[in-house]
Structure 1
Amino acid sequence: MTGSTSTTPSAEEFRDTMDRDGYVVFRDVVSRDRLALFHDELRTEFDRISASDEMFEGGGLMSGHLNCFPGERARFVFEEIKAHGIVDLIRTYRPEIADAPRATLNFNLPGSVAQHYHVDDAFLKEFLICNVAVVDTEIENGAIDVLPGTNREFIPYWKFALERKHRLSTRLPLRAGDAVVRSSILWHRGMPNRSSEPRPMMAVTFGEIEPNDDPFITNGGQMEFYPNWFRTSRLGRLRERVTVAAPITYSAYRFATSLVSKKGYESF
């Protein structure tokens, strides 16, 4: 089995591909019509808070990558990935995390910059992410860049750099409704959105948090935009500004610290 499939793979195929590549692409999982309505709701809410005093400073606004809790209005996405058999596959692969979903969303703004390559959690704390394209996602508007196979071992940043792992770069264009199940320890990065419209990408994670009776009722079930890993403090805004203007500075910092630390193996 390759990393992309238009049919639901067997449990064995799913396991083998996840272990080898760190991700599996599923085509035509979620209704495009329902996603189009959800997209309109996202845009309306983003435009509302952008025009108000509710929008924070920094926190991803300069780099162009924001986080969002999608709320009750995104429940249908979870229901449809379950109906497609994806949650059942996750249960056969990692039964201990299948009942611990969390709903979130990446909002990639026009003019965003490339993120640094990263993993989403420490090597010993692997969880799974099911991304669902809310809109057609091409190179132009920031299709995710993954490095297949980098999930197989712990890779300190000095080794990542010296072995030039970036040469494994694989972009994953998706149509609205397509899904990607990937490991949290697969190296990847968000990419620039060169279009004129924000590009949302829904995510349901499995095993990132403790089991929750209902992952869609957080914040009273209301949609909420919030910062990514950049903080909104003065220092956080400065760090984001420097990282955007001179990304090599952060790469140098990561390289140096990885020589004397196993940060990212047991924890960050």
Structure 2
Amino acid sequence: MRLSAEELASGKLKPETTELAVQLIRINGYVLFEEVLPRTQVDQLNCHMSDKLANFMTKNNFTLEEGFHDGTNHIGLYLPFEKPFCEESIIANPFVLPIVEQILGSDCLLTYFASNTSMPKGTKPQKVHADMGARFGDQCEANLPITNLIVNYPLVDVTLENGPMEVWPGGTHLHPDKWYSSNAHDKSVLAEHMHSFKAVMPAGSIMIRDDRMWHRGTPNGSDQPRTNIAMIYSLAAAIHRPGDIQIPQETYDAFTERTKRLVRNERIGVPVIES
């Protein structure tokens, strides 16, 4: 979907856009708004991410030529809760929150703050997976309500060449709960016989998805990292322990009341994580 010029200028979704996005997530597993964040902001974020990735590679003695993480060359990296990453335009984006709150409720929580990167020279894709396990192990035969929504902001143009996420929409999030347990059918085997597509999109787009939708990272054939910011918003009633995001007091104090509610369960008054 592309937001209208009126929506982009006002920073507010039309009611019909919100309703369509909500129903697409419920029925198809995801919605994608193309090219929403300003390119200058995206480039700044990507510049900071480049430094984080270089430090991570050095700390772990990883090289692109030798490969890592089973040859996928894929990096999941927690982000420090500091600018430019924790801008309210990112964590409380006005095009994201109305959709998230309609599905998860106005008391929903931000519970995950990280990045996903497909680095160059990967030799194979990730295994097909969902980002959530079964809530009731092998016991529940019913599909359960959405409890987590993942929001991704690509920091570069995502093309067929640079390691796009491959997704299996249209129902993989609608299975009975037990399908997401470790004893469920092998998704990789089934997925090879099912419809999928590679999610190409311009930098600064926004993808919102049910965390049960099947997907995988693919190899990056370019010479530059394919990075996106990854956040999870959760149903408050489903969270039973304090969060792990470390938020300095001065950062928290500067937020609007709406944003403070989003992060109220996290570790407020604690220095940012080292990266």
Question: Could you tell me the TM-score, scaled by structure 2's length?
Answer: 0.68
SS state at 1:110 partner? coil
2:257 maps to what in 1?
A: none
Contact 2:114 2:230 in 1 (8 A): yes
1:86 maps to what in 2?
A: 96
1:153 maps to what in 2?
A: 175
What are the residue-to-residue correspondences of 1:21-60 with 2, within 5 Å?
21-51=28-58, 54-55=59-60, 60=69
Contact 1:24 1:180 in 2 (8 A): yes
Q: Does residue 1:220 correspond to 2:233, yes or no?
A: no
SS state at 2:26 partner? helix
Comparing 165-174 with 196-205, which one deviates more in the overlay?
Answer: 165-174
Higher helix share: 1
SS state at 1:158 partner? coil
1:196 maps to what in 2?
A: 223
CA RMSD of aligned residues (A): 3.0
What are the residue-to-residue correspondences of 1:35-184 with 2, within 5 Å?
35-51=42-58, 54-55=59-60, 60=69, 62-71=71-80, 72-73=82-83, 74-76=85-87, 78-80=88-90, 82-95=92-105, 98-112=108-122, 113-124=124-135, 126-148=147-169, 149-154=171-176, 155=179, 157-158=184-185, 160=187, 164=191, 166-184=193-211
1:13 maps to what in 2?
A: 20
Aligned residue-pair number: 218
Q: Which whole-Å CA distance do the structure 1 matches of 2:147 and 2:111 have between them? A: 14
1:251 maps to what in 2?
A: none
Q: Which whole-Å CA distance do the structure 1 matches of 2:173 and 2:126 have between them? A: 19
Q: Tell me, which stretches of 5 or more residues in structure 1 are unaligned?
A: 225-268
Contact 1:100 1:211 in 2 (8 A): no
Q: Which whole-Å CA distance do the structure 2 matches of 1:122 and 1:196 have between them? A: 34
Contact 2:148 2:210 in 1 (8 A): yes
Q: Which whole-Å CA distance do the structure 2 matches of 1:174 and 1:21 have between them? A: 18
User: How far does the alpha carbon of each residue in 1:50-89 deviate from its partner, in whole angstroms, 9 at most, with x for none?
Assistant: 34xx22669727431111122213112x524634331121
The percentage of counterpart residues that share the same residue type is 21
Q: Tell me, which stretches of 5 or more residues in structure 2 are unaligned?
A: 5-12, 136-145, 249-266
User: How far does the alpha carbon of each residue in 1:159-207 deviate from its partner, in whole angstroms, 9 at most, with x for none?
Assistant: 7567556521111111110010001100010111011111111111112
Q: Which whole-Å CA distance do the structure 2 matches of 1:182 and 1:223 have between them? A: 29
User: How far does the alpha carbon of each residue in 1:116-142 deviate from its partner, in whole angstroms, 9 at most, with x for none?
Assistant: 100011244841100000111111011
Contact 1:67 1:105 in 2 (8 A): yes
Q: Which whole-Å CA distance do the structure 1 matches of 2:112 and 2:226 have between them? A: 20
**CA pair 206-83 structure 1, distance change in 2 beyond 3 A:** closer
